[in-house]
Chain A
Amino acid sequence: DAKTTQPNSMESNEEEPVHLPCNHSTISGTDYIHWYRQLPSQGPEYVIHGLTSNVNNRMASLAIAEDRKSSTLILHRATLRDAAVYYCILRGWTSGSRLTFGEGTQLTVNP
């Protein structure tokens, strides 16, 4: 399985943008980049996914490097509710349908 590397933790202030990086240098051409987050005492929650082009939805934006070896999840205005563990996961036909969770990034949002 292609692996991802994320910082263990990051901090942000409320209402400021947050950029969460992910490295995936061994990504295959058919792997999608997925992001999930897990709030305290809850199950994981889907955030966003993309293949090559940058993606936007109501929760976040995903910026994908041209060589696809890295990506950045962007929360445009962090709120206290965004404090969670964020997971960057590769999914494709070769990696299978399961989600393989790594350590993720613990995001702390300061008021």
Chain B
Amino acid sequence: GAGVSQSPSNKVTEKGKDVELRCDPISGHTALYWYRQSLGQGLEFLIYFQGNSAPDKSGLPSDRFSAERTGGSVSTLTIQRTQQEDSAVYLCASSLEVLDEQYFGPGTRLTVT
């Protein structure tokens, strides 16, 4: 069956530009998560959506980062005025319910030059 998909798979952008990363979760999954993994670093939680509840934004590193989830399905992570330290692989995951196992997408590799 269809898993979590993310687009684009790779994105190269210039410092200062805005970028949008997209995540299509598994159909019917109520929870959606964004993580990022910098080169040689561990996975870092960014934001979490659960149903119609207010998202948990506690992992967002700065106010340049925002995310939305429309219609309880597709999510977009937006990074404004990108910086070189934003270069990382951005991973999206979804789960059927909170605390169920999370299914990860292949990630978007973001390079800020």
Q: Which residues of A contact B (CB under 8 A)?
A: 32, 34, 36, 38, 42-46, 49, 91-93, 96-104
Per DSSP, chain A at the interface is: loop
Are B91 and A43 in touch, CB under 8 angstroms? yes
Q: Are B50 and A97 in contact (CB under 8 A)?
A: yes
- The residue of chain A having its C-beta at the shortest distance from the C-beta of B31 within the complex is A97
Q: How far is the CA of A101 from the CA of B102 in the complex (A)?
A: 13
Interface residues on B, range: 20 to 34
Q: Is B25 in the interface zone, CB < 8 Å from A?
A: no
Residue of B nearest to A93 (CB): B99
Query: How far in angstroms is the closest Cβ of chain A from B100?
Result: 9
Given A42-B106, A43-B91, are A99 and B45 neighbors across the interface (CB < 8 Å)? yes
**Residue in contact with A102 in the complex, picked from B4, B35, B42, CB distance below 8 Å:** B42
9 A-B residue pairs with Cβ-Cβ distance under 8 Å, sorted by A, are A38-B43, A44-B43, A44-B91, A46-B103, A91-B99, A97-B56, A98-B45, A99-B33, A101-B44
A-side contacts of B56, CB under 8 Å: 96-98
**Contacting residues, chain B, for A46 (C-beta < 8 A):** 101-103
- Chain B residues contacting A42 (CB-CB under 8 Å) are 106
Decide: B98 and A97 in contact? CB cutoff 8 A: yes
Known: A97-B50, A98-B33. A44 touches B104 (CB 8 A): yes
**Dominant secondary structure of chain B at its interface with chain A:** strand
Q: A32-B99, A91-B99, A96-B56 are in contact. Are A101 and B104 (CB under 8 A)?
A: no
Q: Hey, which chain A residues are within 8 Å of B105, CB to CB?
A: 43
**When the two chains form their complex, are residues A45 and B104 in contact, meaning their CB atoms are under 8 A apart?**
yes
A45 → chain B, closest Cβ, in Å? 7
How far apart are B63's CB and chain A's nearest CB, in angstroms? 20
A-facing residues in B6-53 (Cβ within 8 Å): 31, 33, 35, 42-45, 48, 50
